[in-house]
Structure 1
Amino acid sequence: MRIRSCWWIPMLAMALPAAHAARAPASDTVPGRGVAEIEVVSRDATTSAGEQARQIDAIYKRRFRPYLDPVALGRTSDADIRQIFQGAVDAGFYTLERNYALDGAHALQQLKMRGLATKGDYDDLSSLFIRMRDTVDAREIARQGKLPTDDIPDIQDMTGGRTGRTLISVGEGNALLQRRSFSIDQHGVQMVVVSSPHCHFTVNAVADIAKNPALEKAMAKHSTWIVPPYGSFDIADTRQWNVAHPAESMRLIYSPDEWADIDTRATPQFYVFKNGKLQKKIVGWRGKNTEDELISTLNQLGALDPSQKKGPG
């Protein structure tokens, strides 16, 4: 059966910095082969996010890490420096691990020293930091590249230093983004919906749920809608969605590492918990089939209003 969901990793491949003129084709050098190998791994939709990250890390250590010693980097050819920068940025875009972004910054410094850095390079690295929710470094890289910074948002940390899962609330109008702690309720039923305002399957899900009063009421009471960081960090679209769909108001994941037990690569996904334990995972939206599956699951867990129950069929 075909899973009907938006798959963000292959879509991300199209959003990588390939559009910039400075991006060189993968060459037949050690770093060049690394760039090509990372792309192959990233497009494998059958591999889990964790396994993809492990494979990319292994490629990175083999193909790029030997060049990243400061002395070795200074002796590396211009063409290989370009490939190392691409490899670091690509690995960062796919895994959102900060060490790759920092390596990209070192490679960019070398490109700058050699007079080879372009505005596209600064834009690529700044965009990577934005995807990692690091708007401070994103703004600094943009400033170094003489790029506008007005559209890079500030994120106000409201966690009080607590660790664990966090989400970014976008608010309305020009409100500051706020990072707040989030926890799975240890008592009762809770649903986490991995979603995106850019995913048409998410849009279809919300439209179908709205047609079923019992399901709509249960979802409004028990669900939290979260947006993975792989697509565009477009605050305006999320705010617009939240105005149109207040019952399915979305918050942004700050870091996938905080949600390691939830696959954030596809939307929509429905994770149903009871007393803090996962009871059901539903991937994609297949219209009435998924609607009935949600109703059945919530009914079994006692989360449907008895006066409004409308069972499958």
Structure 2
Amino acid sequence: MAFAQETPAVRLRALENYEHARIVDQTPEDQRNHLIVAEYDRLFPYSAATLPSMSDDELRSAFSASYLAAFFAMDRRLTSEVEAYLHALEQRGIVSGKDFVKMHDIFVATRMFDRANEIKTKYPDLNMEKAPTIIGRSPVRKPSRLVPTSQDDSLTYQPVNLKGRVLVVIAHPLCHFSVNAIKAISEEPALSSIFKGAVWLAPPGPRLNLPEINKWNEDHPAAPLAFMDQREDWPMFDAWATPTFYFLNNGKVVAKVEGWPPAKGMKDFYQSAARWKAAR
């Protein structure tokens, strides 16, 4: 393969350029994530057997590339590859504190909180959150949420019932578009009625920002935010940008609205809501 003749740094730069291009050309989010992972697999095919023979530069570039892919994929397969490269770097004594932070953040994004806390405990001076304990988590994959409790060190696992009509909102308190949305919803009765009983979810990411989530819930008790457990539990969703509004009927997407103000305008939002309410 032609790429095998290129230096690791060149291949890493090619992956970073590919990622940037997929963002600039506004490739749909789910498709973009799959394309970036596929390009990573092409440029940096993983094999545990080759790790000992890789040069330091190869290991460093492969670690950075696997982190980039895992950031978009947020799945266990890529997470295990990031971890394997990290261990190889550590064995050679060429690992940095930033590398451990990246590993910690990927563990948080994939909800592997125990593993994240192992790193936090081992390196307490690094800038890493302490991840909470998940109470009552089911081994069966299904749409679910992790609900903050009165104590900051735990989240309660709850399946989400998608029977009938359900409005799911992907939002985050550090997203000003999400903040603008909840402000408008709170002030406009027509919107408030649509959002009554909606499920509000913060998408998986490298940081939990639990204090900000708790503050949101104090300020907006009618729209409490919980954490999405894992993206793979919501296969009907194809976008995770905040805010995104999914109008579901028995677990199937009837309509999707992105952004606030909605990308296609308020008329489209109300039309989407009307289609949802008419769904049988």
* Pairwise TM-score range, normalised by the shorter structure: 0.7 to 0.9
Report the RMSD for the aligned CA atoms in angstroms: 2.7
Aligned residue in 1 for 2:16? 39
Aligned residue in 2 for 1:206? 182
**Which among 195, 205, 219 is matched to residue 219 of structure 1?**
195
Q: Rate the CA distance shift 1:141–1:212 in 2: closer, same or farther, 3 A.
A: same
Gaps of at least 5 residues in structure 2 are none
**Which among 87, 95, 101 is matched to residue 117 of structure 1?**
95
Query: How far apart are 1:287 and its partner, in Å?
Result: 7.0
- Is 1:282–2:230 an aligned residue pair? no
The count of corresponding residues between Structure 1 and Structure 2 is 271
- Relative contact order, higher structure (CA 8 A, sep 6+): 1
Q: After the TM superposition, which residues 62-77 of structure 1 pair with which residues of structure 2 at under 5 Å, given as runs?
A: 62-65=42-45, 68-70=47-49, 72-77=50-55
Q: Rate the CA distance shift 1:104–1:213 in 2: closer, same or farther, 3 A.
A: same
Q: Rate the CA distance shift 1:240–1:279 in 2: closer, same or farther, 3 A.
A: same
Deviations 1:162-191 (A, max 9, x none): 321111111234362122211312x3x321
Aligned residue in 1 for 2:211? 236
Which amino acid in structure 2 is aligned with residue 69 of structure 1?
A
- Is 1:152–2:152 an aligned residue pair? no
8 A contact 1:162–1:181 mirrored in 2: no
Q: TM-score, normalised by structure 2?
A: 0.85
Aligned residue in 2 for 1:16? none
- Within 1, Cα distance between the matches of 2:72 and 2:12? 12
- Within 1, Cα distance between the matches of 2:251 and 2:62? 43
Q: Rate the CA distance shift 1:146–1:80 in 2: closer, same or farther, 3 A.
A: farther
Aligned residue in 2 for 1:247? 222
Q: After the TM superposition, which residues 121-136 of structure 1 pair with which residues of structure 2 at under 5 Å, given as runs?
A: 121-136=99-114
**Which among 193, 210, 229 is matched to residue 169 of structure 2?**
193
Q: Rate the CA distance shift 1:60–1:257 in 2: closer, same or farther, 3 A.
A: same
Gaps of at least 5 residues in structure 1 are 1-27, 304-313
8 A contact 1:37–1:59 mirrored in 2: no
8 A contact 2:152–2:210 mirrored in 1: no
- Is 1:53–2:33 an aligned residue pair? yes
Which amino acid in structure 2 is aligned with residue 53 of structure 1?
N
Structure 1, 241-250 or 168-177: larger mean CA deviation: 168-177
Percent identity of equivalent pairs: 23
SS in 2 for 1:89: helix
Q: Rate the CA distance shift 1:224–1:178 in 2: closer, same or farther, 3 A.
A: same
Q: TM-score, normalised by structure 1?
A: 0.76
Query: How far apart are 1:291 and its partner, in Å?
Result: 4.5
